[in-house]
Amino acid sequence: MTDYFRKKVHYEDIIATFDDVLIKPGYTDFSPNEVDISTKLGKYHLNIPIISAAMDTVTEEVMAIKMALLGGLGVLHRNCNYEKQIEMCRKVKFARSFVIEEVATISVKAKVSEAKYLMETYGISGVMVVQDDNKVCGIFTKRDIPFNEREIRHGYVKDFMTKDVISIKPGVKRSEALKMLYENRIEKLPILDDGYLKGLITKKDLKPEFPNASIDEEGRLLCALGLSPKFPESSQTQETLKELDKYVDIFFIDVADYYKKADIEGTKKLMKLLESDFVLGNIGTYEAAEFLLTKCDFSENFIGLKVGMGSGSICTTSIQTGVGAPTLFATAQVADAVKDYNPKITVIADGGLKNPGDLPKALSVGADLMMSGHFFAGCTESPGYIDTIQGRKVKVYRGMGSKEARASGFVSDRYIEGSKNLAEGVSAYIPYVGDIDGVIQSLKEGLTNGMIYSGARTVQDMKKVDIGIITPFGQQETRTHDLI
């Protein structure tokens, strides 16, 4: 080995991957139901430390909604125009809104029989009563239906409705609505603006169907979106970004290598323009994290770092360029810098995850969250059609650096601009795996069991467990072998 080579390569620079390590078993002094896999991303609480990647064959609104409902997060891709991005973000943000916007109404001149028929037909328990000018003058519920059959057939709504309607103004918070419903012992709370109906809140809709969902302060689903670090010079585009900002909780800067002066300067301008939080990435070394944490003077919107370069199953960056930072290595490097300079910053291990056991491994070297496209591209909720090849159901999965993905032109700045002929990803098929519920359940069980075996009760405890390098023969032994 030459002196020059020795100067370049150090023991701590062994670039290990998930397959190169195993977590050492630890002492467990708690029961399985005490394991807590929840984590934080800035001020937001996530009940599972799992994020679906901002890829156009992985996360659009259907995936993002389901990920948030299950307690994780889905990052919407940016490989489309701003109009579609706004549409996706709006759908996610209001997918489980506690405000019913399309409210059933009936005329004050209507008969009780009409109101009864309307409620039975649409399976609802009440209707808002409006005058000719569409202003609300009462509410008629099942409780107001008279017992006398003759009154039902010939009576009028105005004679049986509740006239003194308890209402609330637009812009109400979930906590305010709950308080109003409880204090007045009512189940329906109309939202009125100068007498006109703007929506309806019901006690039933305030009860969460998905108690572990990732939600904002107003009870709406968390919305995240991939974003270019390039600051737009046109005022029209800046206004469009402000429109997106209304629906997005967290912007994920979406480039293959973020450790660049132009990207950093562009991001600082974006942080001044937008109010949402920011996750920056991708990076892969201690030095890059140290620079971002100590030299860049980002605003308080900066909440996380996304790490890993070249590890994705459809990524060819390391092969094409000779440069990379596999996710396990990158996570360990960046987590050390975060621990040294700003422990409040969240570390997200992005890419390279192949098995449920890779999740506890990522946590063991300092990750707070994991991001993957591979796990979710074959789900029902991912974009695209289910195809059949040789009798097997599949879906298309492509890297954002593939020629097919870059052909749109929307992600040209995700890689080195101008390198149009050098693909840094591939487009292929991945097995169809069904609904995401089953995938998430497998990942949760793999993570939980890994934590139990290693003796870690929480995500933070996992960062304290010991790991070791495993030899190629050891890798063979840990897999199924010697079978017919």
**Residues forming the active site:** 315, 414
Both tokens assigned to 331:
């996570």
Q: Which of 4, 17, 12 is nearest to 328 (CA)?
A: 17
Is 240 exposed, middle or buried, given 0-12, 13-18 or 19+ CB atoms closer than 10 A?
middle
Taking the C-alpha atoms of residue 359 and residue 483, their distance in angstroms, rounded to an integer, is: 27
Q: Which of 190, 163, 195, 193 is nearest to 177 (CA)?
A: 190
In angstroms, what CA-CA distances link 67 with 53, 127, 263? 11, 33, 29
Residues with Cβ within 8 Å of residue 143, at least 6 apart in sequence: none
Both tokens assigned to 172:
């109400």
Cis amide prior to 282 (ω within 30 degrees): yes
Q: Are 311 and 263 in contact (CB under 8 A)?
A: no
Residues with Cβ within 8 Å of residue 58, at least 6 apart in sequence: 52, 77, 373, 376, 377, 382, 383, 397
User: From start to end of 316-417, where are the E strands?
Assistant: 346-350, 369-372, 387-389, 392-398
- The SS3 of residue 372 is strand
Percentages of the chain per state (helix, strand, coil), in multiples of 5? 35, 20, 45
Q: What per-residue string of b and e applies to 403-440 under the rule 16 or more CB within 10 Å gives b? A: bbbbeeebbbbbbbeeeeeebbbbeebbebbeebeebb
Which H helix or E strand runs over 281? strand 277-283
Both tokens assigned to 24:
């050492």
